[in-house]
């Protein structure tokens, strides 16, 4: 497990090969392995190809020509797979590649700035990956339309949370083991403040707790339709 080896050495400052515990025991103690097999958190974080064992836990990303999901025309479509940190980076890349850069007051030859601050995508994608319901065999969906971007996570909010609670800074860790490692691998802090940072950077975000559909949706309105 070369990725876990690199993570261990970075976090603990010692080579994994010199550690006094066998690897299975170490992974078990870190709540990443059960009975000799990586659990869901361990697989998502450190397995070489997590989607072989967990094929539903990927991101399906589509960039459409228009504003309707029924439209068969699309600009880009991708199944994003790999370790959690890689899926995170690839999802960011997909969104940024399929949204615009604007010049603003910059010079004509400058690369421009993203139409929506990068931190918005970082927080929303991290939230979707870390807080989705992994008891539901369905992917996270990233849908880029001309007027909005939707990031859809399987599983509605836990029963003790509401949209208003979230906006007040409350949180509930649905996947505490995954969240504890994500705080070391992603720009994720686990303090219940990620969605607040996204809203502060770009207030035109609608949060939808769909209990009938058992999903949570963040709808980001793109510039030009405000």
Chain centroid to Cα 95, Å, comes to: 12
- Residue ranges making up the domain that contains 34: 2-48
pLDDT at site 225: 59
| Whole-number Å distance between alpha carbons of 40 and 50 | 9
| Whole-number Å distance between alpha carbons of 49 and 181 | 18
Tell me: do 30 and 72 sit in the same domain. Answer: no
Tell me: do 57 and 79 sit in the same domain. Answer: yes
Pick from 214, 226, 216, 122: which is nearest to 166 by CA? 216
Whole-model pTM: value is 0.92
* Residue 69 contacts residue 148 (beta carbons within 8 Å): no
Residues whose CB falls within 8 Å of the CB of residue 119, separated by 6 or more in sequence, listed in order: 197, 198, 201
Tell me: do 76 and 8 sit in the same domain. Answer: no
Tell me: do 59 and 40 sit in the same domain. Answer: no
Name the residue with tokens 């009975």.
35
| Whole-number Å distance between alpha carbons of 156 and 8 | 33
Tell me: do 79 and 41 sit in the same domain. Answer: no
* Residue 12 contacts residue 26 (beta carbons within 8 Å): no
Crossing angle between the packed helical segments 2-12 and 176-185, to the nearest 10 degrees: 80
| In a domain? residue 16 | yes
Tell me: do 33 and 89 sit in the same domain. Answer: no
| In a domain? residue 226 | no
| In a domain? residue 12 | yes
Domain of residue 98, CATH code: 3.30.565.60
Sign of CA pseudo-dihedral 46, 50, 54, 58: positive
DSSP, collapsed to helix, strand or coil, labels residue 33 as strand
Tell me: do 75 and 38 sit in the same domain. Answer: no
Tell me: do 95 and 136 sit in the same domain. Answer: yes
| Domains of the chain: total | 2
Tell me: do 169 and 103 sit in the same domain. Answer: yes
Residues whose CB falls within 8 Å of the CB of residue 178, separated by 6 or more in sequence, listed in order: 40, 41, 44, 45, 84, 130, 134
pLDDT at site 103: 61
Residue 19 structure tokens: 């550690």
Give the phi and the psi of residue 217 in degrees, each rounded to 5: -130, 135
pLDDT at site 101: 80
Tell me: do 44 and 88 sit in the same domain. Answer: no
Q: In a structure prediction context, what are the per-residue pLDDT tens digits for the chain, which is 226 residues long?
A: 889 999 999 999 999 998 989 999 999 999 999 999 999 999 999 999 999 999 999 999 999 999 999 888 899 999 999 999 999 999 999 999 999 887 655 555 566 788 999 999 999 999 999 999 999 999 999 999 999 999 999 999 998 899 999 888 888 889 999 999 999 999 887 666 789 999 999 999 999 999 999 999 999 999 985 5
| In a domain? residue 211 | yes
pLDDT at site 105: 57
Give the phi and the psi of residue 77 in degrees, each rounded to 5: -150, 135
Tell me: do 122 and 21 sit in the same domain. Answer: no
Tell me: do 76 and 89 sit in the same domain. Answer: yes
């Amino acid at each position: 497990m070369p990725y876990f080896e690199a993570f261990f050495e970075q976090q603990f400052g010692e080579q994994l090969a010199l550690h006094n515990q066998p690897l299975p025991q170490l992974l078990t103690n870190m709540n990443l392995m059960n009975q000799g097999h990586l659990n869901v958190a361990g697989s998502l974080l450190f397995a070489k190809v997590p989607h072989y064992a967990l094929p539903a836990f990927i991101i399906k990303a589509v960039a459409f020509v228009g504003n309707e999901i029924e439209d068969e025309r699309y600009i880009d479509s991708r199944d994003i797979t790999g370790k959690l940190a890689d899926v995170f980076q690839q999802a960011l890349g997909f969104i940024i590649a399929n949204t615009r850069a604007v010049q603003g007051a910059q010079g004509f030859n400058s690369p421009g700035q993203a139409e929506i601050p990068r931190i918005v995508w970082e927080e929303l994608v991290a939230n979707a990956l870390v807080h989705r319901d992994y008891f539901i065999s369905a992917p996270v969906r990233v849908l880029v339309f001309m007027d909005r971007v939707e990031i859809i996570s399987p599983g509605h909010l836990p029963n003790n949370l509401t949209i208003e609670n979230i906006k007040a800074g409350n949180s509930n860790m649905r996947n505490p083991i995954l969240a504890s490692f994500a705080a070391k691998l992603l720009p994720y802090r686990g303090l219940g403040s990620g969605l607040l940072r996204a809203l502060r950077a770009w207030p035109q975000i609608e949060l939808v707790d769909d209990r009938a559909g058992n999903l949570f949706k963040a709808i980001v309105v793109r510039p030009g339709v405000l």
